[in-house]
Amino acid sequence: HRVDRRQRQMCIRDRYYYRPITQTDAARPETAHVLAGGWAWFSHAERISRNEKSVIIPACEIPSDILENLTRARAPVCGLDMTLPKIMAVLNVTPDSFSDGGQHYGFSLAVEQANLLISEGADLLDIGGESTRPGADFVEIDVEIARTTPVIEALKTAQVETPLSIDTRKAGVARAALNAGAVMINDVTALRYDAQSLPLVVEKQPFVCLMHSPSDPKIMQNNPVYENVLLDVYDHLCDQVAVCAEAGIPKERIVLDPGIGFGKTIDHNLQLIRGVSLFHAIGCPVLLGVSRKRFIGEIGLAQKPADRVAGSIAIALEGLRQGVQVLRVHDVWQTKQAVRLWQAAL
């Protein structure tokens, strides 16, 4: 085992990573490549290494398997076309979430908010019953199920067509949600927290969002350290996709989230945002969740989460510039308006 680990570390140190330098300009050269079948394109890439200086190379020098991952059109996720940006709306059925804790806590309030988010144009609804803010307390499985499953059942009974996602790290909660009608599991631990999560996904074959998070929410902001945050997060997600594939989960059912704000400093977050196009090289759609997060308040001088809408949209549009397919947001109509204007100007 020690030999395997040492060999893997040597392999990682010798690995090259290829970050497409994305553009959205209408004047696209004929030789440029379309990124993931979407709206962005690239003709060059940054070749990154852990032990060499980064260099800019033409796209023709990217290895064929990586270039295939970068250019292959993504399959629909939850029935949603990934060639256009999609908005995942946040619905926290919790008393203690960092931004809107308690505002939609309880069945009636949650269903009312769900319908509002859908009316505002949400493409996907992400329902969570346990806060994952830094320092958050653990929520028992039965409590989390009681918070989320009735809401999913009510929306399905009302024949809501918007796909529903369950935001949980617990297999029991995910199973109850899938049985109630959810079609995606959004797991902040990339299926690593609960040993039954991976078998559940193999059994049920839902869509799954794998997010990077280095530790439990209770302690994740206690001095997070990385050798290279962009490459470390990339390797982590790449490894988890490989684990899923080996277990029998098709890559077409996986979405990737670099986990902005989860066990990261402000500088870590900014490095990930600057380099988020790298994650397309894994070959899955990319989700960016920055909405109202603390680093936006720190940089944008907005103490209250509700005052961080403008900063959230600014980072969201940068994600779109780099080809991110899904934006996870609290403020749907504001983001939807910004995306419409951004698309019209392309």
Catalytic residues: 293, 328
DSSP 286: B
DSSP of 43-103: SEEEEEESSS--EEEEGGGS-HHHHHHHHSPPPPBTTB-TTS-EEEEEEE-SS--TTTTTT
Amino acid symbol at 167:
D
Task: Give dist(CA 17, CA 291) in Å, integer.
Answer: 28
d(CA 175, CA 178): 5
- Which is nearest to 16 in space by CA: 42, 54, 44? 54
Between the CA of residue 48 and those of 184, 279, 317, 323, what are the distances in Å?
Answer: 33, 13, 24, 19
Structure tokens at 19: 């970050």
